């Protein structure tokens, strides 16, 4: 049985995190959208107000995968939650329980911190991931769809703020 450990990432892991993000982006067919660089991650993960946290899974001392999560909030529960943005296990390490170890680690963090839930999104075509999530007890939120503003649409909406303030 392989030795698997899950540990919190440190600033020294930024090049590794970028490699793992690139692997995830390639798997999800979104490599063209992966534009984060070391400075972005340094600020977001280890700056004065970290926006997210990363855990690294190692198998026999080699980096096998990672999970990136951040705090969300449920107004209905009145409690924070843990939102999993990304989970990725390198192909050569799949099938060894590493994804489950990452999920167990994050579930424990959520429980230890008193959070009300642990949630994430998954691409609808990613059947292996969906099957894995069902196997650990996750349920789909079929009534909900993800909405997103980014790029020009985000800037356009943000630009409407001053016009609203100036209106009589």
Span 42-62, pLDDT tens digits: 999 999 999 999 999 999 999
Question: CB neighbours (10 Å) of residue 151?
Answer: 8
Q: What is the pLDDT of residue 32?
A: 96
Secondary structure letter of residue 47 according to DSSP: S
Question: What is the H or E stretch that residue 58 is in?
Answer: strand 53-59
Q: What is the pLDDT of residue 158?
A: 87
Enter the pTM of the model: 0.90
Residue 2 has pLDDT above 90, yes or no: no
The tokens for 41 are 């991650």
Q: What is the mean pLDDT of the chain?
A: 94
Q: Say which residue the tokens 């292996």 belong to.
A: 128
Residues labelled catalytic: 133
Nearest to 141 by CA among 151, 133, 152, 150: 133
Nearest to 46 by CA among 17, 6, 23, 22: 17
Check if the beta carbon of residue 149 is closer than 8 Å to that of residue 157: yes
Check residue 30 and give left, alpha or beta (phi > 0: left; psi -120 to 50: alpha).
Answer: alpha
* Residue ranges per structural domain of the chain: 4-166
**CATH, domain range 4-166:** 3.40.630.30
Span 113-147, pLDDT tens digits: 999 999 999 999 999 999 999 999 999 999 998 89
Check if the beta carbon of residue 81 is closer than 8 Å to that of residue 74: yes
- How far apart CA 164 and CA 168 sit, in angstroms, is 9
H runs (alpha helix) in 35-139 = 38-46, 98-112, 127-135
- How far apart CA 126 and CA 106 sit, in angstroms, is 21
């Amino acid at each position: 049985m392989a030795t698997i450990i899950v540990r919190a990432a440190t600033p020294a892991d930024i090049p590794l995190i970028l490699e793992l993000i690139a692997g995830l982006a390639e798997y999800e067919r979104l490599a063209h959208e992966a534009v984060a660089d070391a400075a972005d991650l340094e600020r977001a993960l280890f700056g004065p107000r970290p926006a997210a946290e990363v855990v690294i899974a190692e198998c026999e001392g080699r980096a096998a995968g990672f999970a990136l999560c951040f705090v969300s909030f449920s107004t209905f529960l009145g409690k924070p939650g843990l939102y999993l943005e990304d989970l990725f296990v390198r192909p050569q390490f799949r099938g060894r329980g590493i994804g489950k170890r990452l999920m167990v680690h994050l579930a424990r963090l959520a429980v230890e911190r008193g959070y009300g839930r642990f949630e994430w999104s998954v691409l609808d075509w990613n059947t292996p991931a969906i099957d894995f999530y069902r196997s650990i007890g996750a349920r789909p939120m079929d009534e909900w769809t993800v909405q997103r503003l980014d790029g020009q649409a985000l800037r356009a909406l943000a630009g409407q703020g001053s016009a609203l303030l100036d209106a009589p």
